[in-house]
Structure 1
Amino acid sequence: MTDVHRVDYTGEGLSELEVAPTPWQQARRWVDEAVARSRELGDVPEPLALSVATVDPDGRPNVRTVLMRFFDERGPGFVTNTESTKGVEIAATGAVAASLTWPSMFRAIRFRGVAQTLTREEVTGYFGSRPWASRISAWASQQSRPVEGRADLEEAYERYAAQWPDRGNADDVPVPDFWGGYRVACDEVEFWGGRRNRLHDRLVFTRVGEGSLDDPDAWQLHRRQP
């Protein structure tokens, strides 16, 4: 057995007295604090890194990390090639789970629910805000498919870059038909706060009715053992 490096978590946790009245308000608070800490201290290098889990046809889980590009009372959202593995698995089952984790803050948020397709207007608006090179890469990569080597990716990138040169406009590069995104319509949101001696806090909002993440009548709060 190799030596294990143990760290006692020194987070402040989260109590029932401190938690916001809705999962949206609590999540917004923690996301904003993570972004602020990233800018001020630099120890949260990618505060919007979102781990997204799906299931394949055999029921085996797949997880990968994307960036959370949408976040409102409807749930967290991300963009992707819809013909990728995640897109195919979402289309088959709709089941999705996602998490934001900030180790230096001893905090995490877990979202569970079903995927809802982003509107074309949302996708187009976001695509135009991306740097030109990122828009070209969306065309160049057949996401999740095998490739012989990096040279093939570079060649595809150069081909599309020549086709749609950078003129400094949002519509220089068209939105690919296969490029879109999803929002997690949540039925459960868990807030994890690390504490000493592994007695962490896990406060969970579970859906009990219709409504957004900011509708207090749609959610019930309870605590889980760590």
Structure 2
Amino acid sequence: MADEPYALFADWMAEATKSEPNDPNAMCLATCTPEGRPSARMVLLKGVDERGFVFYTNFESRKGTQLLANPFAALCFHWKSLRRSIRVEGAVEVVSDAEADEYYASRPRGSRIGAWASQQSRPLEGRWALEKAVAEYTVKFGLGEIPRPPHWSGFRIIPDRIEFWRDMPFRLHERRVFTPVENGWAIETQYP
């Protein structure tokens, strides 16, 4: 394995992109409720660099409110076809408006309208209510630009721990843990 976690992540993601049939960028995001209970769901990774791992959501959603109240999270990537996983833990920050605007503008038009129409994580009277909201926002924005909603942006998880796990025969798996230190990363190999 490589001695730098972001390079190793890029290598593993490239392999996953070739082998996973759907959403190789899918990751389980774990947050915490105000009562201290864990809460997990699948989201899509939309960016990664030396600053951290980025995804986008509605700030008024369950995950959005939890992250704004308690800015720490964990991620888990699992690529069954490769028999590998990566776990990430760390603090969370909101991405800049410029980053959120750039990503939002890259989304399909229907997804941008959906960001306005969906009251994510709140009760839905029926599918018709969502379809009605989509129709209303489609008319409102017409053929013009669709601005990013004020309640929609991204979060970046800034890792203080990244663990790479690889399946090995006889359950003698490989585990390598990276933790940030001044001018680089400390690397620890752990028992399976």
| Partner SS, residue 128 of structure 1 | helix
* Partner of residue 224, structure 1: 190
The within-5 A match list for 1:179-198 is 179-198=152-171
Match of 1:201 among 164, 174, 179: 174
Q: Gaps (5+ residues) in structure 2? A: none
Which one is further off, 24-33 or 131-140?
24-33
Which of structures 1 and 2 has the bigger CA Rg? Answer: 1
In structure 2, what is the Cα distance between the partners aligned to 1:44 and 1:106? 14
1:206 deviation in Å?
1.6
The within-5 A match list for 1:1-226 is 19-35=1-17, 37-38=18-19, 43-166=20-143, 172-209=145-182, 217-226=183-192
| Amino acid in structure 1 at the alignment position of 2:127 | R
In structure 1, what is the Cα distance between the partners aligned to 2:86 and 2:51? 16
In structure 2, what is the Cα distance between the partners aligned to 1:127 and 1:165? 17
In structure 1, what is the Cα distance between the partners aligned to 2:162 and 2:154? 20
| Partner SS, residue 207 of structure 1 | strand
| Amino acid in structure 2 at the alignment position of 1:75 | G
Q: Gaps (5+ residues) in structure 1? A: 1-18, 210-216
More strand by share: 2
The Cα offsets for residues 138-170 of structure 1, whole Å up to 9 and x where unpaired, read as 001011111111111111111101111246xxx
Q: Percent identity of the aligned residues?
A: 41
In structure 2, what is the Cα distance between the partners aligned to 1:146 and 1:218? 46
| Partner SS, residue 45 of structure 1 | coil
Contact 1:78/1:183 (8 A) holds in 2: yes
In structure 1, what is the Cα distance between the partners aligned to 2:87 and 2:21? 18
1:76 deviation in Å?
0.9
Q: RMSD between aligned alpha carbons?
A: 1.2
In structure 2, what is the Cα distance between the partners aligned to 1:79 and 1:86? 11
1:113 deviation in Å?
0.1
Structure 2 length-normalised TM = 0.95
In structure 2, what is the Cα distance between the partners aligned to 1:166 and 1:223? 55
Structure 1 length-normalised TM = 0.82
Moved over 4 A (4+): none
